[in-house]
Amino acid sequence: MIIIPQTKGGVGKSTVAMQVIAPYLYKKHGKKITYIEIDDKNNDSQSFTRTQIVNKRMLSTNKLKELDELILMDDNHEVIVDVGGNKTSSYVLEEIAKVGTFGNVKWIVPMGDGELDGKNAIATMKKLKKIENNSQDNLLFALNRAISTDQDYLEEQFINFFGHKYLGSTVWEMAYNNTDFAAKVVEAKNAGDHESARKYLFFRRIQTEAKDYVLNNLNGIFSQLDKWIKIK
């Protein structure tokens, strides 16, 4: 069984399930795949009304016990479970944890490049680690809206997931960050650390763009706020 949860909605769970995993399993097995959507509020898979590669069914959260036997019997990954976001994913993971997965489940956690996407992906991962003894082998992240698989690009684009000490603050703070990234670029280059040099180049660019944004946008907005708020 392949289960696709995320505690945030709108991150592409149904897209990953229907556009990637369903065709993959259909090709592998040569027959229709069982596709289960668990979401009491939305039915995202209804967009795929003409698909011929899955048998779709809805499962309400008050019938989650039906998953127990499905997880146990699906030794060959012929079932996809698309779990709704927000409270639904949390509830489903809590229910699965009560019985376990018997080593029969692979987990895919989709996420976009937004701040909440990264934070919720990490929160989902922490919940899964309480269920899976071997989560490193059974858990995969699907980085949606990525246009390159280059590691540096992915770490920069999904900075809220991978994290970095220079980001996570406001643009205004980054503009007034006194770190000399240009000097760090040269230092890293001379040390032969080209990976760090590329990262510092990225942060140098962000710092420059932040300063331009403050100069050309924020300062004008601040002036207007001065007139409106009139703080003494």
Q: Helix H segments across 100-166?
A: 115-129, 135-138, 151-157, 159-162
Q: What angle do CA 208, 211, 215 make, to 5 degrees?
A: 140
pLDDT at res. 232 = 53
pLDDT at res. 42 = 65
pLDDT at res. 30 = 92
CA distance 186 to 165: 19
pLDDT at res. 147 = 85
pLDDT at res. 225 = 82
Q: What is the mean pLDDT of each run of 10 residues along the chain (232 residues)?
A: 88 89 92 91 65 90 92 94 89 93 92 85 91 87 87 78 70 88 93 87 90 92 84 58
Q: If DSSP codes are grouped into helix, strand and coil, which group holds residue 188?
A: helix
pLDDT at res. 227 = 86
pLDDT at res. 68 = 94
CA distance 174 to 205: 11
**Longest distance between any two alpha carbons in the chain, whole Å:** 73
